[in-house]
Structure 1
Amino acid sequence: MRKNWKNKLIGFLILLLPFSLTACKDKAEGEAAHAMEYTCPMHPQIVQDKPGSCPICGMDLVAKQSASAPAAAVSTDLNYLLQPANEIVVSSIRTTQPMQKQVENEVTLSGVVTYDTRRQYVIPARFGGRIEKLYVQFNYQPVRKGQKLYDIYSPELVTAQKELLYLLKNDPGNTALISGARQKLRLLGATEGQINQVARSGKESYTFSVYSPYNGYVLDPAVTVAPTASPVPATASSGSGDGMGGMGGGSASGTVASGPASPITNSQGFAVREGMYVTTGQSLLKVIDASQVWAEFNVASNVASQLKRGTPLSISFNQLPDETIQSSVHLVEPVYAAGENFAQVRALLPARGNPILIGQVITGRTTYSTGFSLWVPKEAVLDLGTQSVAFLKVNGVFKPTSVRVGQRADGQAEIVSGLKAEDVIAANAQFLVDSESFIRVADTNR
């Protein structure tokens, strides 16, 4: 009897077991649902423990993801760029192989016309005195060699003339002293004709004329004439002047390809005036010979490494596209400015007979041959910002591989490392990138 009772009790408990498990499961799900938080997509400050509507905008609340929810992990290699499901599809796209060859590349340079600084001359006062008459009146006035610039009264010069006249009158046979007196006048700036005139007349001149020793255009020494290139691209207004014979005239401003021109100061006239006293060594005037000018270009360092002295350069004028001058690279100068490394390339331009204006925007073109290296179509390389990727075909599927790219020329990219000549790669790397593969990933390096 007792044994039957125990058997009945065990059977009853077995029957209750499924109901107990169901109840525990429902309780766990209820607790999980109770722990879930809901928030508004537009107003994240609204957080509730059950579904509902946002009291601000009325939008339905959505489940808030827990901060401890695991993110999708990915390895540090580049396989995340391809979805496994696409391997069969993309394996039939067009392919190419790197080619070992030499590429002809054309370089286009933007620049500006500037003065040749080697042809800028300062005329100083060789002796102190007072300016009696000024024969040049304005900046950029053309002058020629031997043209009179100003008359000056100088007690020092009068004394030197009297010394020569005294020797010629009282000791004409003393050639050594007479030669020394003549040399003193030469060193003070007197010409041979002026010295002979004093000797013939037997009378000193109290006003002495000073002549230009150069051909060109006269300027005040304080005037800045040459536009300066800057590494930061900028555009200035174009301009041309008069009185320069096609060389920029009364204004040196212009459209500068790579930077604004330096301002011209005191451009209304000369600082020296008639009646002013000047001292020995004072800069009175400046003469610029504009028969030859410079073409200056700012280029990237990697391009400058391919340009050497003597490299042929074809220069055209943006305002006159049909006018072209053939020149060659005269100087390649490395420059560091505004945090940028670049180079300044200079070429010589004969100004006479050519439509050249100082500050004029110009375009230079030259070609060079690269060394023998591996080249692929530029579409075969995908730039990810921090690295470049090509897709290598292995066993019928494509695998991303990191490559280092050098020069780019004629629609092709130079492969410095990462590929071999026998490798087969996808001809269009962008086609293989699935945008949905860029998901939020865990940082496996932490």
Structure 2
Amino acid sequence: MKRYLNILLLLLFVLTGVACQSDEAHEHAEGTTYTCPMHPQIVEDEPGTCPICGMDLVPQSVEGEAVVMTDDLAFLIQPTNETVISDVATVTPEQKTVEAAVKMEGIITYDERRVYSIPARVGGRIEKLYVKYNFQPVQKGQKLMEVYSPDLITAQKELLYLVNSAPEDKALIAAAKQRLQLLGATDAQINHLLRTGEASYTFAIYSPYDGYAIGLNTTAPSAIPSEIPVAAANTGGGMNGMGGGDAGSASKRRMPAAGDEIQLREGIYVSTGQPLLRVVNPNQLWAEFNIPAGEISSIAKGAPIQITFPQLPGEKLEAQVDFLQPFYEAGENFAKVRVYLPGEQKLARVGQLVSAEASYTTAPALWVPRTAVLDIGTKSVAFKQLNGVYKPVAVTVGTIEGNQVQVVEGLDQTDKIASNAQFLVDSESFVKLND
């Protein structure tokens, strides 16, 4: 009986030891992770194969142990598409300033300071018109039209009455003259009135400017004009000549709405303040150019600019930048650069398309050959030499001038890069960039 008890105790001891070893092995297995020898970024909790290359995964670490990743080991196991082995010549970025130029396209236009508007100083009817088409030459003092206005007739008769009945009342006579002047009468017309003693039923409107007539509407108006009651002038020529009297008996004449461009012709009625035509003096012209948004900071007022005319090969015009528009037009990514053309121009014509090139000096920056930077669509790449191989790095480029390109970010002056980035890329490889 004692022998059987000893055997039972021995079996119980053996079973307890086996269970402890099994639990220890299970705990040991749970702390193990597995990785690919060629792709260390692949880490799994259990054995298997690499989803990239298909190799069997190996234990990476055990509780209390870790794989030491040295620089040499990291270089050996890195993916093959991250570096390129080549014997292409290298260059280093150069810190310097460069004389650059910006090419622009633009158009010749009027100097807005020399565009004059001639409004109707008094309401009335155009009896005689001497300017009948756009771009008709106009000289200062030239008669533009003759207008019949009851207000002018009334003002003339008031002045004649004061001169004849109260010649000693200088203040009233001066006020009557001033009223005529405010209605558009010139000093010569007022002196002629006082000399003859007869009121004129039509007054001439003269041009105060030299240039060309523009803004005449030579087509029939498309909008329905407003109807303004205009009474027929009575023989007395009083103040009621234009708008007085019974509105019900007044004949309705069609007049353009305020602000509309009128078809200027004889017999139409105009209202006070209505613009009749514009006069443009082309002796001074502008050239307006569109410049890309990224280049606007490079150009300053006074920068030299050379204007060329596509229609006249070989003709060039030297000028300077006079104005930079401080805002962008809606929907456009261009700024405006304005240039005043010097003197009277025989080459430039309003509406003519021209090209220009503005010169400037860049700020100190790193410059590399243009072939050393590769544009891959979404970003630009340069190949930096590290440990005998070339590694692609993303760079930010700025101004491109000739065969040089400005590197704003991504390189240092001590870096060595491939002089020709195209030689390090072929149709069967993909260059991986680390952001």
Query: 1:222 Cα deviation (Å)?
Result: 4.6
Alignment of 1:191-202 (within 5 A): 191-202=186-197
- Structure-2 residue corresponding to 1:413: 405
Distance 1:334 1:385, change over 3 A: farther
Match of 1:328, SS state, is: strand
Structure 1 residues not aligned, in runs of 5+: 1-68, 225-268
- Structure-1 residue corresponding to 2:335: 343
Which whole-Å CA distance do the structure 1 matches of 2:91 and 2:291 have between them?
Answer: 32
Which whole-Å CA distance do the structure 2 matches of 1:350 and 1:405 have between them?
Answer: 36
Q: 2:114 aligns with which of 99, 116, 119?
A: 119
Alignment of 1:401-440 (within 5 A): 401-438=393-430
- Structure-1 residue corresponding to 2:263: 271
Which whole-Å CA distance do the structure 2 matches of 1:323 and 1:208 have between them?
Answer: 49
Which whole-Å CA distance do the structure 2 matches of 1:221 and 1:270 have between them?
Answer: 7
Q: 2:355 aligns with which of 356, 363, 368?
A: 363
Q: 1:323 aligns with which of 315, 324, 344?
A: 315
1:149 aligns with 2:141: no
- Structure-2 residue corresponding to 1:97: 92
Matched length:
323
Match of 1:375, SS state, is: strand
The one-letter amino acid paired with 1:417 is E
Q: Deviations over 1:338-361 (max 9, x none)?
A: 744211111112563422222212
Which whole-Å CA distance do the structure 1 matches of 2:53 and 2:276 have between them?
Answer: 78
Query: 1:117 Cα deviation (Å)?
Result: 2.4
Distance 1:341 1:334, change over 3 A: farther
Which whole-Å CA distance do the structure 1 matches of 2:146 and 2:183 have between them?
Answer: 14
Match of 2:161, SS state, is: helix
Which whole-Å CA distance do the structure 2 matches of 1:319 and 1:293 have between them?
Answer: 18
Which whole-Å CA distance do the structure 1 matches of 2:284 and 2:80 have between them?
Answer: 58
- Contact 1:334–1:341 (CA<8 Å) still a contact in 2? no
Which whole-Å CA distance do the structure 2 matches of 1:145 and 1:80 have between them?
Answer: 82
1:189 aligns with 2:189: no
- Structure-1 residue corresponding to 2:291: 299
Match of 2:325, SS state, is: strand
Alignment of 1:95-244 (within 5 A): 95-222=90-217
Which whole-Å CA distance do the structure 2 matches of 1:152 and 1:320 have between them?
Answer: 46
Identity of aligned residues (%): 50
Alignment of 1:25-64 (within 5 A): none
- Structure-2 residue corresponding to 1:391: 383
Match of 1:183, SS state, is: helix
Which whole-Å CA distance do the structure 2 matches of 1:283 and 1:162 have between them?
Answer: 27
Find runs of 4+ consecutive structure 1 residues off by over 3 angstroms.
69-73, 79-84, 220-224, 334-340
Provide the aligned C-alpha RMSD in A: 2.8
- Contact 1:217–1:289 (CA<8 Å) still a contact in 2? yes
The one-letter amino acid paired with 1:283 is P
Q: What TM-score does the superposition give when structure 2 sets the normalisation length?
A: 0.69
Match of 2:398, SS state, is: strand
- Contact 2:305–2:319 (CA<8 Å) still a contact in 1? yes
Which whole-Å CA distance do the structure 2 matches of 1:435 and 1:428 have between them?
Answer: 16
